[in-house]
Copies of this chain bind each other. A is one copy, B any other.
Amino acid sequence: MAFHKKEAFSQREQDLAAFAKAMSHPARIAILKVLAQRNECICGEIVEVLPLAQSTVSQHLKELKTAGLVKGETDGPRSCYCINWKAFEKFNTELGFLFKNLKMANEKSCC
């Protein structure tokens, strides 16, 4: 009766799923967009833009950081977040690879 048997799947599948999971909430996508709009580390205007409480935004940021999509350095009272572009590109290609595989397999779409 072990719940969440993710360990039963391949590492690659787990990684891809973890990446997708990090993007599976509109708030986190919005955060990524905000981070992208600025060309420098942003310290907290995110809270003002999003319709969420500060603690909730902080939590979402933590999840993005844990997933590796975002880098952050907390320097005392203000912290500094920006997109971890390398990880992003890695997952993008990984995703593209899956898409390509799917496409090739489904060229002769059946239904």
Contact = CB atoms under 8 A, between A and B. Distances in A.
A16 B32 CA distance: 12
- Give this chain's copy count: 2
Interface residues of A, number: 53
A82 B109 contact: yes
A32 to B, nearest CB: 7
B80 A102 contact: no
A8 B41 CA distance: 25
Given A36-B105, A51-B8, A111 B41 contact: yes
Interface in A73-94: 73, 80, 82-83, 85, 88-89, 92
Interface string A58-86: 00000000000001010000001011010
A110 B85 contact: no
Nearest to A14: B26
Interface of A: 5-6, 8-10, 13-14, 16-18, 20-30, 32-33, 36-41, 51-52, 71, 73, 80, 82-83, 85, 88-89, 92, 95-96, 98-99, 101-103, 105-106, 108-111
